[in-house]
Amino acid sequence: MSSFNTKFFNFENKNNTVIELSKYACSEIFNEKEVEILCKIIKEPKSLYKLYIDTNIPIATLWRIVNRLRENGYLVHEKRGVYKVTYKGALLIYLVGCNKFKELSLKYISELYNLCINKVKNILNYIIEVSNKYSICVLEFDDIIKIIPFVLFDALNGLYIPSDTIEFVLKALNGHPSVISDEGCHIIPEITNEGEKILLGKCKNNGFVSNHKCPHVRKILDKKFSKEFLILL
């Protein structure tokens, strides 16, 4: 389970609705006021004073809430005293917000990672699935890139990986030695006793694949390593 401070969202106003995320493997207790503030800021970065005008929460109380949100990675404090939502803050809104703010958070995350909204939604659904499967609070994935080791682990175990997630991993690992590119193919190969296959990859013939047997993998590997050998010579 998550190691976050479970006292983080103890709020003075006892009338506010408590929000919990146990279905996402999280033990944290949230308060609707924190989510309300995040929703205000995701629409438009705001100063503390502007938040005070918008929410009518006493300024001292508001500062304590915003400061805790910042310390725990849901907000960042930018120049000129303006607060901005992080990916983690947008993820929280996506998990607990109304439909209007779910869509807004998807748009926000899509702009952060330069992905289309549908792909973001599919990747987030995969992250939620992984968090439940391994009992890891979904908010521990405070950067989408943190899902990569779990994607590779699932692929090694022969589990299905959605194409949008494969595409994201290949894009994130672009330039990494584990990704081999050749004639329109971009693959992370796996070599086993049974031969070579594509662990994750974009195949010019089959699109995005995982655990895919391909007759061309051996040729791609031979070309890759023979080139590197010649360079060493």
190 with 94, same domain: the answer is no
Same-domain check for residues 88 and 178: no
Nearest to 24 by CA among 119, 110, 187, 134: 134
Residue that has been written with the tokens 């590197």 in this structure: 228
pTM: 0.82
Query: 19-33, 76-90, 115-129: which range is least confident on average?
Result: 19-33
Question: Residue 195 class from Cβ within 10 Å (0-12 exposed, 13-18 middle, 19+ buried)?
Answer: exposed
Provide the pLDDT confidence category of residue 228 given band limits of 50, 70 and 90.
low
> What would the mean pLDDT of 71-84 be, rounded to a whole number?
91
| Domain-terminating residue out of 115, 142, 169 | 142
Give the whole-angstrom CA distance, residue 133 versus residue 157.
14
Q: Is residue 150 domain-shared with residue 225, that is, in the same domain?
A: yes
Q: Which long-range contacts (CB under 8 A, 24 or more apart) does 184-192 make?
A: 185/216, 185/220, 187/217, 187/220, 188/152, 189/217, 189/220, 189/221, 190/156, 191/221
Segments forming the whole domain that contains residue 163 = 146-232
Q: Total structural domains in the chain?
A: 2
Task: Indicate the pLDDT class of residue 152, thresholds 50, 70 and 90.
Answer: very high
Cβ–Cβ < 8 Å for 37, 70: no
